[in-house]
């Protein structure tokens, strides 16, 4: 007598086969952009060395304030968005939301790097 094995259940029709693509790409990019943003954003305060803390132009001070705010507040928000992209259900219904949250997770470090590269000259 042979043992009968139940047939495997079919995969749900609404399961998204590419559910891990956007979070994986965002994680790979974040592993490069995140440390670079923290490094260059932290070093951007040395842009005031030539003009002193009181004689720097207002545009430079405004850019440095934005960089500091993006590092302090954008870092945790970026991590939360990346975590949300990974934790969203792997259903087709959530594919657009997953892609948007993965993309939004990259916005703070990319903005920090843009602001560092476009710092006004003191």
Q: What is the pLDDT of residues 73-114, one digit of tens each?
A: 999 999 999 999 999 999 999 999 999 999 999 999 999 999
Task: Answer whether residue 72 shows pLDDT above 80.
Answer: yes
Task: Answer whether residue 53 shows pLDDT above 90.
Answer: no
Task: Answer whether residue 65 shows pLDDT above 80.
Answer: yes
- Evaluate whether residue 106 is within a structural domain: yes
Contacts of 29-35 spanning 24+ positions with Cβ under 8 A: 29/106, 30/78, 30/82, 30/105, 30/106, 30/109, 33/106, 33/109, 33/110, 33/113, 34/75, 34/78, 34/109
Coil/strand/helix, residue 63: helix
- Evaluate whether residue 84 is within a structural domain: yes
pTM of the model: 0.84
Query: Which tokens sit at 28?
Result: 């790979």
What is the helix, strand, coil percentage profile of the chain, to 5?
Answer: 70, 0, 30
At 122 the pLDDT is 72
- Evaluate whether residue 79 is within a structural domain: yes
At 4 the pLDDT is 78
Task: Answer whether residue 10 shows pLDDT above 70.
Answer: no
- Evaluate whether residue 97 is within a structural domain: yes
Structural domains in the chain (count)? 1
pLDDT band with cut points at 50, 70 and 90 for residue 1: low
- Evaluate whether residue 78 is within a structural domain: yes
Write the burial class of residue 11 (CB in 10 Å: 0-12 exposed, 13-18 middle, 19+ buried). Answer: exposed
Domain that holds residue 78: 57-122
- Evaluate whether residue 15 is within a structural domain: no
At 7 the pLDDT is 72
**What does pLDDT average to over the chain?**
91
């Amino acid at each position: 007598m042979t043992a009968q094995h139940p047939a495997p259940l079919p995969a749900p029709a609404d399961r998204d086969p590419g559910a891990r693509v956007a979070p994986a790409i965002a994680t790979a990019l974040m592993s490069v952009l995140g440390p670079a943003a923290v490094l260059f954003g932290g070093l951007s305060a040395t842009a005031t060395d030539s003009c002193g803390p009181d004689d720097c132009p207002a545009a430079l001070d405004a850019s440095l304030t934005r960089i500091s705010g993006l590092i302090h507040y954008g870092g945790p928000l970026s991590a939360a968005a990346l975590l949300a992209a990974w934790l969203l259900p792997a259903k087709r219904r959530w594919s657009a939301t997953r892609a948007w949250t993965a993309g939004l997770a990259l916005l703070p470090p990319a903005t920090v790097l843009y602001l560092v590269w476009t710092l006004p000259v003191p």
